[in-house]
């Protein structure tokens, strides 16, 4: 486990990790000192008659020139109080250092998981469950740092404190040290023996149940219409309730386990105190009181320490699954790198697809095989073919989402690769059958890459007119700043497609790709969209348009049409 955790923590955090280890050591020393300074008060209360010149309190008493027991007691109590205040402030500062480290590491892991999943590309995202990826990014990273690393720090600090207390108790009173062992070790062993295999299983079960619950919610909201018409909501609700029942059942078991440390330690302390009374019935009462007092002072800090160790160990076992998730993701320093360049291709001649084949990793045959074609600048090219011949796959290759299994795609003679993909994607626009609409305003959806305050309003007005959105936008209460709801649920299909066109025009693209952009629209809306695209092309003959469509009517404005046939091998 330790080696896996070491692999997860990035190199840039390892120096800070050493600093946090030092703070753990300092916290243990401060807590030990805070407990040790209570001993003089205990002696003054229970054994004040033994303040002799030979005792350490006696040496302090006579060297500082105290003349009365009362003034000495006040001075000792004041010094202990002042030390406790300073110690508490230092502990708060040390805890802040640890807290900032934990939060910084959570931020780092969560952001890198986000970038990691993004950088793995469309094929990975399409083959993965979005609810699981979202939970890994938002929940697993947090559970790792708060449920594994933070308890490990707490266990290290409390264990060191226990060792210091035990050594001090052994020096001061071997009997007290033996009693501490007799009280707390059995409690720790019983707890470990009772719950060690259960907690790991509970954590894994809850994670799986939470994933099922999140997946059910996302699928229900995303597929509302089909689920409602198909009367499938009762079945989805049963799935949700089953997952929720599992979560509650596991949490209830874990809550029961969380009570055990306090029960074991309190029972152990009562048994230990009773044993002292029974075994030492014949001792002098002052000795018995002092032994009781030492044990009581130790118990003040030992009981919380033992409980914290047990709680921390329980939390680690419960969240062990996060280590597997993060190790599987294999986050490294490179994962934070993503291309933010605004550079563009100087597209002046043509796009050439030369003997391109593509096969998915889990497929036995090529989706596209030995395909060659050329698209000249300013052309309006239609691509058609039966379902399954690879039209969308070809688009994903042209968009740079996939890399050919063999063959090349070149732009003005320059090969399209992962290294220049961002540069190419800055040059093109894309309108799909289901245009992505963010839960924001019309302006923010068109200027998708811009911060709201940096949107070019004049350019926005031009593209609204070009995409035939001006009249619709002017009818809205807040114009382009009108919120349009999650997934654009306040928009018609035609309005969504026009926003997609306006988005492509806003970035001043040189090539505009349409992937079945009108297939889900009625014939009148389709005709209007096609007319808008035709006008765009006529007003800017340098704009290259590539269209995938099933219907001939969607390709009428094209200069030529390429028909794909099934030649898979």
Say whether both 384 and 510 belong to one domain: yes
CB contact at 8 A, 140 and 149? no
Whether 159 is in a domain gets the answer yes
d(CA 478, CA 472): 12
DSSP string, 179-224: HHHHHHHHHHHHHHHHHHHHHHHHHHHHHHHHHHHHHHHHHHHHTH
26-78 per-position pLDDT tens digit: 888 888 788 777 767 666 665 555 565 556 666 776 677 776 777 777 887 88
- Of 562, 531, 532, 535, the residue nearest 546 (C-alpha): 562
pTM of the model: 0.69
Same domain? 285 vs 392: no
**Residues 369, 251 within the same domain:** no
Q: Are residues 368 and 290 in the same domain?
A: no
Pull the structure tokens for residue 212: 């099922």
Q: Tell me: do 390 and 487 sit in the same domain.
A: yes
pLDDT of residue 519: 58
Q: Are residues 331 and 359 in the same domain?
A: no
How far apart are the C-alpha atoms of 192 and 518, rounded to whole Å? 63
Beta bridge partners of 411: 351, 414
In this structure, the chain runs to a length of 569
**187 pLDDT above the threshold of 60:** yes
In whole angstroms, give the CA distance from residue 247 to residue 269: 34
- Give the total number of structural domains in the chain: 2
Nearest to 400 by CA among 371, 447, 358: 358
d(CA 305, CA 308): 5
* Same-domain check for residues 315 and 422: no
Q: How confident is the model at residue 299 (pLDDT cuts 50, 70, 90)?
A: low
Q: Please indicate, yes or no, whether residues 193 and 276 belong to a single structural domain of this protein.
A: yes
Residue 370: how many other CB atoms lie within 10 Å: 13
Q: Which of 275, 302, 336 is the last residue of a domain?
A: 336
In the predicted structure, residue 443 carries a pLDDT above the cut 80: yes
220 and 361 share one domain: no
pLDDT in tens, 222-242: 666 666 656 677 777 888 888
pLDDT recorded at residue 277: 60
* Strand-pair category, 350-358 with 511-515: unpaired
Q: Which residues pair with 352 in a beta bridge?
A: 374, 410
| CATH number of the domain where residue 425 is located | 3.40.50.300
Quick: pLDDT tens for 535-544: 777 777 788 9
341 belongs to a structural domain: no
DSSP string of 17-62?
A: HHHHHHHHHHHHHHHHHHHHTHHHHHHHHH-GGG--TTSHHHHHHH
Show Cβ contacts of residue 102 under 8 Å, excluding neighbours closer than 6 positions: 145, 146, 149, 150
DSSP symbol at 542? T
* Domain contains 148: yes
The answer to whether residues 395 and 319 belong to one domain is: no
* pLDDT score of 409: 93
Of 363, 370, 353, 357, nearest in space to 404 by CA: 357
343 part of a folded domain = no
Last residue of some domain: 302, 336, 370?
336
Residues 377 and 267 in one domain: no
> Is 18 within the bounds of a domain?
yes
- The whole domain housing 450 covers 350-563
- Whether 538 is covered by a domain: the verdict is yes
In a domain, 344, yes or no: no
| Domain end (from 305, 336, 367) | 336
Rounded mean pLDDT of the chain? Answer: 78
Is 136 in the same domain as 237? yes
Q: Report if residue 342 sits inside a domain.
A: no
The predicted model gives 285-298 an average pLDDT of: 59
CATH code, 168: 1.20.1560.10
Q: What is the pLDDT of residue 222?
A: 66
pLDDT-based confidence at residue 410 (cuts at 50, 70, 90) = very high
pLDDT over threshold 90, residue 408: yes
- Tokens representing 64 are 């500082």
| pLDDT in the model for residue 569 | 45
d(CA 31, CA 142): 28
């Amino acid at each position: 486990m330790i080696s896996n955790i070491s692999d997860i923590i990035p190199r840039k955090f390892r120096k800070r990790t050493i600093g946090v280890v030092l703070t753990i050591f300092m916290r243990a020393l401060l807590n030990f000192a805070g407990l040790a300074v209570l001993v003089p008060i205990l002696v003054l209360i229970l054994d004040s008659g033994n303040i002799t010149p030979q005792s350490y309190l006696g040496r302090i008493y006579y060297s500082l020139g105290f003349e009365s027991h009362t003034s000495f007691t006040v001075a000792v109590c004041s010094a202990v109080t002042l030390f406790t205040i300073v110690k508490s402030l230092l502990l708060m500062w040390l805890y802040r250092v640890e807290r900032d480290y934990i939060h910084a590491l959570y931020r780092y892991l969560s952001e890198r998981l986000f970038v990691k999943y993004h950088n793995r590309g469309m094929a990975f995202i399409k083959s993965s469950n979005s609810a699981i990826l979202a939970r890994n990014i938002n929940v697993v990273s947090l559970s790792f740092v708060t449920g594994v690393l933070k308890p490990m720090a707490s266990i290290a600090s409390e264990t060191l404190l226990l060792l210091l207390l035990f050594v001090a108790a052994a020096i001061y009173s071997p009997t007290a040290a033996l009693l501490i062992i007799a009280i707390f070790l059995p409690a720790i062993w019983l707890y470990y023996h009772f719950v060690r295999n259960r907690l790991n299983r509970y954590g894994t079960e809850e994670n799986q149940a939470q994933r099922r619950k999140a997946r059910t919610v996302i699928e229900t909201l995303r597929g509302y219409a089909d689920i409602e018409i198909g009367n499938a909501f009762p079945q989805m609700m049963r799935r949700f309730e089953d997952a929720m029942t599992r979560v509650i059942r596991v949490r209830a078991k874990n809550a029961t386990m969380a009570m055990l440390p306090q029960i074991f330690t309190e029972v152990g302390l009562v048994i230990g105190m009773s044993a002292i009374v029974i075994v030492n019935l014949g001792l002098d009462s002052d000795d018995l009181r002092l032994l009781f007092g030492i044990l009581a002072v130790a118990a003040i800090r030992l009981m919380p320490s033992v409980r914290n160790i047990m709680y921390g160990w329980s939390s680690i076992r419960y969240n062990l699954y996060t280590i597997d998730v993060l190790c599987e993701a294999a986050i490294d320093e490179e994962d934070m790198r993503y291309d933010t360049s605004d550079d563009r291709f100087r597209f002046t001649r043509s796009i050439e697809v030369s003997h391109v084949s593509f096969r998915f990793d889990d497929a036995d045959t090529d989706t596209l095989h030995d395909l060659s074609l050329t698209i000249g600048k300013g052309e309006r090219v239609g691509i058609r073919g039966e379902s399954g011949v690879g039209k969308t796959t070809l688009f994903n290759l042209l968009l740079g989402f996939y890399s050919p299994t063999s063959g090349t795609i070149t732009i003005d003679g320059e090969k399209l690769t992962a290294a220049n993909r961002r540069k190419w994607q800055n040059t093109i626009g894309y309108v799909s059958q289901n245009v992505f609409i963010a839960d924001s305003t019309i302006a923010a959806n068109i200027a998708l890459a811009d911060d709201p305050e940096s949107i070019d309003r004049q350019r926005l007005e031009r593209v609204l007119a070009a995409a035939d959105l001006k009249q619709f936008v002017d009818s809205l209460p807040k114009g382009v700043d009108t919120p349009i709801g999650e997934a654009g649920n306040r928009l018609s299909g035609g309005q969504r497609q026009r926003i997609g066109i306006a988005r492509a025009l806003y970035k001043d693209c040189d090539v505009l790709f349409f992937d079945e952009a009108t297939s889900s629209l009625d014939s009148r809306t389709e005709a209007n969209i096609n007319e808008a695209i035709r006008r765009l092309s006529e007003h800017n003959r340098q704009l290259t348009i590539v269209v995938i469509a099933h219907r001939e009517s969607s390709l009428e404005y094209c200069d030529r049409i390429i028909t794909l046939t099934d030649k898979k091998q």
